[in-house]
Copies of this chain bind each other. A is one copy, B any other.
Amino acid sequence: MTLTRRNFLRSSAVSAAAIAGVGASHAAELPKGAEWNETCSLLVIGTGFAGLGAALESHYLGMKDILVVDKMPSAGGNSIINGGAIAAAGTDMQAKAGIKDNADLLYSDILKAGGGIAHANLARRIADESVSNYEWLRDEVGVNFKAVTYHGGHSVPRSHAVQENTGAGFINPMLAKCKEFGIKIQLRTIVDDLIVNDKGCVVGVKARINHRFNRPDSGKVVYIRATKGVLIASGGFSQNVRMRTSHDPRLTKEFTSTNHPGATGEMIQEAQQVGANTIHMDWIQLGPWTSPDENGFGLAPLAVESMVGYGPMINPKTSKRFIKETGNRKVRADAIVAIGAPAVIFTNEQNFMNKVVGKNMKQEQFEQALKNGVIRKFDDLKSLAEFYKLDYSVLEKETEKFNGYMKAKKDPEFDCMFFDDGVPNEKGPFYAIRLWPRVHHTMGGIEINEQAQVLNVKGEPISGLYAAGEATGGVHGMVRLGTVAVADCIIFGRIAARTANKWAGC
């Protein structure tokens, strides 16, 4: 039995889209008096890793009239301010550096960090496609990789860092390729409603063009038809305080975020409005490597992830170590929040120059961070202890112990991981950074299957609707490992393009 009732869409930000019954047999109907202003093939919402990955893959598959929209005035979303490295397991760069790695090891690392709730089918796709994706970025897109780095929680170094040391190293070549291929990228275009036809298929959107982010109601309404469906690649909700406190009341506005201001998650809510399921929404990752001495993502994370394993992380209240420095993000962030005061990590100049400067962090970034007091240089341990008001004799003993563990490559206290090129912290100068976590990544989001199709609350795909990247949940489970999200975004963006390409419409 099929029943009819009228329904109404609203044009304000608090819109509620209509849901059509799955399997009903009537044709789509646009709002009375409205017409499609524009028709594209795949409509991509978002210009970050996932969105641009999808746009480029669509082009390579031969699709025409791809349209990429973004509500912000500039392209790149949160991706462009990312740390600039991507996980890949079993690459030529790793082989050259003598690192043994493979897809199974990456897969098991993802699942281990996921705490048992990661969706194995999604993790498997990332693990299986990580090398070909890395090669595609290098050979087709023109990304310049320069070094394999280590991030906490991984079994081996497998984070492939770009020359630029930020996500711009991926985004800019991707944008250049879009331009070269004539892929239309339309900024300041915010999507208010997904339009669902009476067969339950997503066939387009209601959006506003010439939107200004700081004026929520601004812009002119347009209807965009998408014959190959709509991809939600619009990122997470780290900057949406109402949304994040609904799932985790601790994350009030008192916590700042590393994210760009547009990470407000409204497309996740819009997907929910058309019946999409959401999962793991309460797993919100704090970055353990941000510094209270600067704002946003900042420069500290570029250094910190290359300092772990090379120097101790100190509890300012005890002057002692308190956690596995190479532990995963959640372990470290939770431990610092539990202390209630910023931790201090340091290493000696030899390690710092060898692992950080000119690696994850450019010379000019290093100088900037020194100037701003984000990184501080101390001639010896005593002056370091004095500056941070640590107990020097306790710190000295802790450092001696840590050096012993470094030499033995075994930490019986906290199981810190060590690397062959680590130099014990026996003499200065030392470089130190204070650490206080920020809201960094929302692991939860829209539930998808391994074809990047959005699933409804019953677990069935919503025809014509895809999602990829931080807007989705399931890949990372409880804990996301560093640089896996970049792989997740690009790989699932590309998968979404393949699924859309095969979609016959509806």
Contact = CB atoms under 8 A, between A and B. Distances in A.
A6 B3 contact: no
Contacts of A279: 246-247, 281-282
A32 interface: yes
B120 A249 contact: yes
A119 to B, nearest CB: 6
Contact of A21 (B10, B22, B250): B10
B8 A6 contact: no
Interface stretch (A42-50, A143-151, A288-296, A451-459): A451-459
A4 B7 contact: yes
Contacts of A460: 14
Contact of A2 (B5, B8, B18, B20): B8
Interface in A453-476: 455-460
Interface in A1-41: 1-12, 14-24, 26, 29-34
Contact of A19 (B19, B22, B269): B19
A16 B246 contact: no
Contact of A116 (B118, B246, B248): B248
Contacts of A459: 242, 246
Contacts of A63: none
Interface stretch (A134-142, A270-278, A346-354): A270-278
Contacts of A124: none
Contacts of A23: 10, 12, 14
A17 B18 contact: no
Given A246-B459, A248-B117, A273-B275, A5 B18 contact: yes
Choose among A30, A33, A221, A458 the residue with the greatest number of B CB atoms under 10 Å from its CB: A458
B18 A19 contact: yes
A433 B79 CA distance: 54
A8 B198 contact: yes
Contact of A249 (B3, B16, B119): B119
Interface of A: 1-12, 14-24, 26, 29-34, 116-120, 198, 200, 221, 242, 246-250, 269, 272-273, 275, 277-283, 447, 455-460
Given A4-B8, A16-B456, A117-B250, 8 more contacts: A3-B9, A5-B30, A8-B24, A16-B22, A19-B273, A117-B248, A247-B279, A278-B278
**5 smallest A-B Cβ distances: which pairs?**
A3-B31, A10-B21, A8-B24, A8-B21, A7-B7
15 contacts: A1-B221, A2-B9, A3-B8, A3-B9, A3-B11, A4-B32, A6-B26, A8-B26, A10-B22, A14-B22, A16-B22, A17-B19, A119-B249, A272-B275, A272-B277
